[in-house]
Chain A
Amino acid sequence: MPAPTSQPTPGSDQTPAPNDWTDACARAAWAGLVRCRRFEDAVMDAWRAGDIPGVVHVATGQEATAVGAALALAPGDMVTSTHRGHGHALALGTDPTALMAELMGRRTGLVAGRGGSKHLSDPERGLLATNAIVGASVPLAAGAALSAKTRQTGGVALAFTGDGATNQGAVFEAMVMAVALALPLIILVENNGYAQTTASAYASGGQSLAARARGFGLAADTVDGSRVDLVWSAVSRAADRARLGLGPSFIEAAVGRLEGFFSLDAQAYRGADEVARLRAAACPLARFRAKARGGLDDATLAAIETDQADAVDAALAAARAAPPAGP
């Protein structure tokens, strides 16, 4: 386990893919990555066109954490998520049409238009709930972990959360609880460097989030979150530990947020070159091509990409055509 540095950098890990990363893994991962990217790009376009009410928080650039974690989980495992949860839902298998329809406030939406972008739920796919109260995904997942442990389902619970969210008291208390009760819980922090406009390093006083978690007694690791194979590997190890009754894990994944905090964000607080730099160094799609494609050739990747693009485009059209939710 590498020693946590205070602020991990996405795009920094140049190690080869793990030995057990098969071509089947790579194929599924690529499909997930391109689906998530295409979906979020479509969301931003639809939002700009006025088809999505309110604001949205897209996870462009954070595809590898969603996809890698979902690949490592098993049926029956439960996931909680944040305000930035479209990719988590898609990676778990949520129907993109139902998801897009939810964002558009349609009757056919995932939760019938009642929730919107921040309030998704698809328990059959393992998505307990996304959450707009920052930090709350973690103690809720601890509850799902307690349920799995008590009911002896063999399941684990994984909480996606953000760097900013790890400063919440509820997250610290959940870590205390999970260690004391040896819960089968995985806390997967997507550290994208910011909470709204506030830098992660400012809010944590420069402290490593993983090191803080280790202080609570969790098995804590950092991972280059632009690498889907490495995320998969880290979550697989954490899930194995949890299933063996060895307790909770904390994974700090360094990711690059390629869009604003939300759709209205002018991003005056970060230099114009930062996103370009992240796109070059830490784009999960590019990183997959460079490090995790295994034996998949360009034609195979292109064919998968076309399929996924078609699926997202069809979802967009179907959602647009669906009736609005109304009383």
Chain B
Amino acid sequence: MTDRTEPSSAACSSAGYSSLGASPADPSAEPVTYRAALTRALDDAMAADAGVVVIGEDVAGGAGAAAQGGTGGAFGVTAGLYDRFGAERVIDTPIAESAMLSMAAGAAATGLRPVVDLMFADFAHVAADPLVNHIAQAGALFGDAPGQAGHLPLVIRAAFGAGDRSGAQHSQPLHGALLRLPAIRLALPATPADAYALLTHAIACAEPVVVLEHKRLYDTTGPLAGDALPWGRARVVRAGRDATLLAVAGQVAPALDAAERLSGHGIEVEVVDPRTLNPLDLGTLTASLARTGRLAITDEDRCAAEIVAGRLAETAFALLQAPPCLICPAPGPVPFAPGLEDAWAPDAPRIAEALRRLCTDG
């Protein structure tokens, strides 16, 4: 079914990173949006491998007919793919997320490489059964053919995050819930280059990968070709000696902003973007903690921050001079009204204040 040879089990390690599109065709091009980088990754992967199909609601978006120029998904990420690859590979579905994900799993187990567009991450919970009982248990369910136990080359993309006045059921983070499913790989790109590289890798990967895209990032711009960090490697975005601040996806920008604010006050924060939470780059994170001795995590998903802090406590407890500081929203639904929603997610001033206290012991 696929043109390309099956990736080896190393596809999810850094060694397999180059299997698809590791060097974007045109790295000198103009800065692209995060959205365009995702589109480009899909386009390149579909061109390279006839087994890659895009599945979701309105991913073509031409009234479910063979209409050209459809909307390309709720966030426009799949725009143009239908025109290029046709209805057999850009597949609009009825609104039925549970069947959509189970179907994608079955297709992935039988020769396709589905990339499911879930639209809002909140809808993953409509498909909890395929996610939790099937995709995350693939190793037990589908045997070891054709590459390895758990071979299930399936990608799920979803948009998440607060800030666009979408209300309680269109703003929730998903990564905390997924982190308790170790068989599901988890990428949260923060830049266009990472969006391209991580999605490209996810499609080439032999295991299920969820790529979570913060809604606030779609219109941000940057180069398509990044620093070529391998899959699974964290990025030290800003060096510092006083504390290590972890942030992914939409929280990276406010984390950097907070670090710059503190720099004027003699506090130097090292900002680290893990880029993938599964795998989690314990090596880079531990090395940073060895330099700083203090850990802060800002995340819209408190459960994710707790899990990451717990993993680091296992490996780096002795390096910490203070308890981990989690800078996360208060429990409860994401509120709608701008004043309420803006107070919900931790912004740069809140992050800076928490770090100031962490670094000055009060």
A289 smallest CB distance to B (angstroms): 31
Residue A8 CB within 8 A of the other chain: no
Q: Are A114 and B340 in contact (CB under 8 A)?
A: yes
The reply to whether B167 and A165 contact each other, CB–CB distance below 8 Å, is: no
Q: Are B63 and A53 in contact (CB under 8 A)?
A: no
- B319 is an interface residue with CB less than 8 A from chain A: no
In the assembly, what is the distance between CA of A42 and CA of B99, in Å?
A: 39
Asked if A195 and B57 sit within 8 Å, CB to CB, the answer is yes
Stretch at the interface among A115-123, A234-242, A313-321: A115-123
In the complex the two chains form, is B65's CB within 8 Å of A133's CB?
A: no
Contacts of A269 in B (CB 8 A): 61-63, 67, 70-71
- Residues of B contacting A133 with CB < 8 Å? 122-123, 126, 169
Please report the C-alpha to C-alpha distance between residue A117 and residue B168 in the assembled complex, in whole angstroms: 11
User: Would you give the shortest CB distance from B341 to chain A, in whole angstroms?
Assistant: 9
* Bound CA span A55–B167, Å: 10
Residues facing B in A84-124 (CB within 8 A) are 105-106, 109, 113-119
Q: Which residues of B contact A170 (CB under 8 A)?
A: 126
Whole-angstrom CA separation of A320 from B198 in the bound complex:
45
Contact with A along B66-82 (1 / 0, CB 8 A): 01011100100000000
Q: Which residues of A contact B343 (CB under 8 A)?
A: 326-327
How far, in angstroms, from A134 to B169 measured CA to CA in the complex?
10
User: Is A167 touching B70 in the complex (CB atoms < 8 A)?
Assistant: no
Q: Report yes or no: A198 in contact with B92, Cβ–Cβ below 8 A.
A: yes
In the assembled complex, the CB of B160 is this many whole angstroms from the nearest CB of chain A, namely: 14
Q: Are A105 and B70 in contact (CB under 8 A)?
A: no
Pair B67/A105 contact, Cβ less than 8 Å: no
**Contact, CB under 8 Å: B166 / A54:** yes
Q: In whole angstroms, how far apart are the Cα atoms of A107 and B58 in the complex?
A: 35
When A54-B165, A115-B167 are in contact, do A325 and B339 touch as well, CB less than 8 Å? yes
Q: Output the least CB separation between B68 and chain A (Å).
A: 10
Contact across chains for B167 and A132 when beta carbons are under 8 A apart: yes
Number of interface residues of B (CB under 8 A): 38
Q: What's the minimum C-beta distance from A177 to chain B, rounded to whole angstroms?
A: 16
Contact present for B96 and A169 (CB under 8 Å): yes
Min Cβ gap A210→B in Å is 17
Please state if A197 and B58 are interface contacts (CB–CB under 8 Å): yes
Number of A positions contacting B (CB below 8 A): 41
Cβ–Cβ contact B74 & A196, under 8 A? yes
Minimum CB–CB distance from B149 to chain A (whole Å) comes to: 29
| CA–CA, A116 and B336, complex, Å | 5
Q: Shortest beta-carbon distance, A274 to chain B, in Å?
A: 10
Specify which of A168, A268, A327 is in contact with B339 (CB 8 Å cutoff).
A327
Nearest CB on B from A180, distance (A): 20
Q: How far is the CA of A202 from the CA of B94 in the complex (A)?
A: 8
In the complex, the answer to whether B336 meets A199 with C-beta atoms within 8 Å is: no
Report the nearest B residue to A325, measured CB to CB. Answer: B337
Say yes or no for A270: interface residue by CB 8 A criterion: yes
Residues of B within 8 A of A105 (CB): 165, 336-340
Pick from B69, B96, B336, B338: contact of A115, CB under 8 Å: B336
A232 smallest CB distance to B (angstroms): 28
B13 at the interface (CB under 8 A from A): no
Nearest opposing residue in chain B for A202, CB measure: B64
Residues of chain A with a CB closer than 8 A to B67's CB: 269
The answer, yes or no, to whether B98 is at the interface (CB within 8 Å) is yes
Determine the distance from Cα of A195 to Cα of B53 in the docked complex, in whole angstroms.
Answer: 22
A137 adjacent to chain B (CB < 8 Å): no
A198 to B343, CA, bound (A): 36
Instruction: Confirm or deny: B310 has a beta carbon within 8 angstroms of a beta carbon on chain A.
Output: no
- Whether B333 sits at the interface, judged by CB under 8 Å, is yes
The residue of chain A having its C-beta at the shortest distance from the C-beta of B166 within the complex is: A54
- A residues near B169, Cβ cutoff 8 Å: 118-119, 131-133
Q: What's the minimum C-beta distance from B157 to chain A, rounded to whole angstroms? A: 17
Q: Does A21 sit within 8 A of B, measured CB to CB?
A: no
A66: shortest Cβ distance to chain B, in Å? 21
Whether A135 is near chain B, meaning CB under 8 Å from some CB there, is yes
Cβ of A326 and Cβ of B340 under 8 Å apart? yes
Residues of chain A within 8 A of B123, CB atoms compared: 133
Residue of B nearest to A165 (CB): B95
Within B293-317, the residues touching A (CB, 8 Å) are none
Q: Does A204 contact B (CB under 8 A)?
A: yes
Q: Would you give the shortest CB distance from A209 to chain B, in whole angstroms?
A: 12
B165 contact set on A, CB distance < 8 A: 53-55, 105, 116
Q: At the interface, yes or no: B164 with Cβ under 8 Å from chain A?
A: yes
Residues 95-153 of B at the A interface (beta carbon under 8 Å): 95-99, 122-123, 126
Among B63, B98, B122, B337, point to the contact of A326 (Cβ < 8 A). B337
With A197-B70, A269-B62 as given contacts, are A134 and B167 in contact (CB-CB < 8 Å)?
no
- Rank and list the top 8 A-B pairs by shortest CB-CB distance, nearest first: A202-B64, A54-B165, A116-B336, A105-B337, A113-B337, A326-B339, A325-B337, A167-B94
18 A-B pairs (CB sep. < 8 Å): A54-B165, A105-B339, A116-B337, A117-B167, A118-B170, A119-B167, A132-B167, A133-B123, A133-B169, A135-B95, A195-B57, A196-B61, A203-B94, A325-B337, A325-B339, A325-B340, A326-B339, A326-B340
For the A-B complex with A197-B61, A198-B63, A268-B70 known, give 10 more contacts whose Cβ atoms are closer than 8 Å: A53-B165, A53-B338, A54-B167, A105-B337, A113-B335, A164-B94, A165-B95, A169-B99, A194-B63, A202-B92
Binding site for B on A (CB under 8 A): 53-55, 105-106, 109, 113-119, 131-135, 164-165, 167-170, 194-199, 201-204, 268-270, 324-327
